[in-house]
Amino acid sequence: MDDDDPRLTLHPDRLFPSDPAERSIARRIHATTCDLPVISPHGHVDPQVLVDDRPFHDPATLLVTADHYLTRLLHADGVDLGALGVASGPLSEPQARSVWKHLCEHWDLLRATAARTWLEAELVELFDCSVRPSARTADRIYDQIAEHLGQDAFRPRALYQRFRLSVLATTDEPWDDLSAHRALTDDPTWSGRVIPTFRPDRALDPARPDWPEAVARLGTAAELDTADYDGYLRALEARRRTFRAHGAVAADHSHLDVRTEPLDHAVASRIFHSALAGDVSAAEAAAFRRHMLFEMARMSCDDGLVMTLHPGVRRNHHQPTFERFGPDVGCDIPIRTEFTDALAPLLRRFGTHPGFHLVVFTLDETAWSRELAPLAGFYPSVYVGVPWWFLDAPDAIRRFHSAVTETAGFRRTSGFVDDTRAFCSIPARHDLSRRVDAGVLARLVAEHRLDEDEAVDTAIHLVTTLPTTVFKL
């Protein structure tokens, strides 16, 4: 390393409070959780990666292209997504180096972002990097990471163990054959726990142009006729049973809103047939989707799957980007979301149903104290989902605790979810959450609102008992 190159280091007190007394307490709290197993009850890692257990292809594909937190910021600074390998398939060596150089040349763009906090932890703790990324150091860092990726200790299964993962949930289409999950379960050399999550969004929304195809695929997977509404409901119920048989604990839903307004059976059936025929209005399609979200709650009460809601995102906000690269590349934008009236029909019917768990996430943080904390503070079924996506960052997590726990307490929240496709970022994301939580608890101790033993117990509870209980693991 050239002496002129700035060093890349991780301060042991990163993310802890600046007040010396609080910082000292936070250190002690974090020491009790930092080595605990990682429970990941909501994420998007491809399980086939663990089935195949092949070396990761290259540093850029692993750490940049797969992480839309990074690609969207680089795109905002003028780097074309195509130049970052998005939706391009396997990268050649020159292409991968070029993608990596784009990141290093724009390293200053990441200052104070959560993405930089995660990536720095990956570079230092996982790949032993000691020099700050820049145009000058890009090739050296790339070579160092590539050398590590060639070692057996950096294959996916070895990293699963190194990350102390005890549970890893994936997100899967309702017609997925779940062959990757079955292969892991049947493999005598595999000892981890990777579970699917039922994500039926594409099959519930007649406004989608591919909805008739989704309904047909659902029927094929369930081996049931979905040409009529009753058969469609039976197929959804059957696929949920299949997911449960493969270890699933949750059904996840991410619609534009969370309105849950049940329809008469005859009305729902009429809209269903009209939508299959391509003759449905926008209002009818929205009404059917909201009715089906209510039906999903009914099914969760019947089969025990935890119902999680991730609403309030305008998907594919930039249509040209969607047309060129497809979905999930960083151009989804949050919108305002209303919960109290929207969830009222569902909660009137199912809010006190024994065993029903409803975890509600939001990207509209104004709803935390105004709606979600009061709802979770009354309904035994409701848990407030922790900050995710745009909000899973230090200051937002602090705002979350300030907004929610005074009303609902810590135990009415979900426990941390990493919600990531970037496999190597999982431990960094969980450590960020644990450090910030330690700081929040340390302040409560310093203000004599909690005793330190209670703070330690709460910190451990947040990363072990709480996600295990809420997600029925």
Strand-pairing partners, residue 40, are: 168
pLDDT tens string 198-221: 999 999 999 999 999 999 999 999
- Residue 2 confidence class, pLDDT cut points 50, 70, 90: low
Closest to 433 in 3D by CA, of 224, 121, 71, 204:
121
Q: How far apart are CA 405 and CA 387, in angstroms?
A: 13
Nearest to 422 by CA among 2, 43, 40: 43
Cβ pair 170, 194 in contact under 8 A: yes
11 pLDDT more than 70 = yes
Pick left, alpha or beta for residue 304 (phi over 0 → left; psi -120 to 50 → alpha; otherwise beta). Answer: left
pLDDT of residue 4: 78
Region 104-131: mean pLDDT is: 97
Whole-model pTM above 0.85?
yes
Which strand (E) or helix (H) includes residue 388?
Answer: none
Biggest CA-to-CA distance, the chain: 75
Residues 178/242, Cβ–Cβ less than 8 Å: yes
Q: What is the pLDDT of residues 151-194, one digit of tens each?
A: 999 999 999 999 999 999 999 999 999 999 999 999 999 999 99
Rg (CA), the chain: 23
The identity of residue 130, as a single letter, is: S
Residue 198 pairs in a beta bridge with: 172, 251
CATH topology of domain 159-470: TIM Barrel (3.20.20)
Tell me which DSSP letter residue 407 carries: H
Tell me if domain 55-154 and domain 159-470 are identical in fold: no
- pLDDT tens readout for residues 218-250: 999 999 999 999 999 999 999 999 999 999 999
User: What is the per-residue pLDDT for 5?
Assistant: 86
Whether the per-residue pLDDT at 1 is higher than 70: the answer is no
Residue spans of the domains in the chain: they are: 55-154, 159-470
pLDDT level of residue 88 (50, 70, 90 thresholds): confident
Output the CATH code of domain 55-154: 1.10.2020.10
Among 162-176, 215-229, 322-336, 393-407, whose mean pLDDT is lowest? 322-336
- CB-based burial label for 282 (10 Å; 0-12, 13-18, 19+): exposed
Tens of pLDDT along 365-390?
Answer: 999 999 999 999 999 999 999 999 99
Distance CA(320)–CA(332), nearest Å, equals: 13
Q: How much is the mean pLDDT over the chain?
A: 96
Percent of the chain predicted with pLDDT > 70: 99
Contact (Cβ atoms closer than 8 angstroms) between residue 263 and residue 315: no
Q: How is residue 154 annotated by DSSP?
A: G
Q: So what's the pLDDT on residue 158?
A: 98
CA distance 190 to 198: 23
DSSP percent split of the chain into helix, strand, coil, nearest 5: 55, 5, 40
What does the pLDDT read at residue 3? 65
Is residue 183 within 8 A of residue 177, CB to CB? The reply is no
What confidence tens digit (pLDDT) does each residue in 118-154 have? 999 999 999 999 999 999 999 999 999 999 999 999 9
Distance CA 250, CA 343 (A): 19
7 — pLDDT class (breaks 50, 70, 90): very high
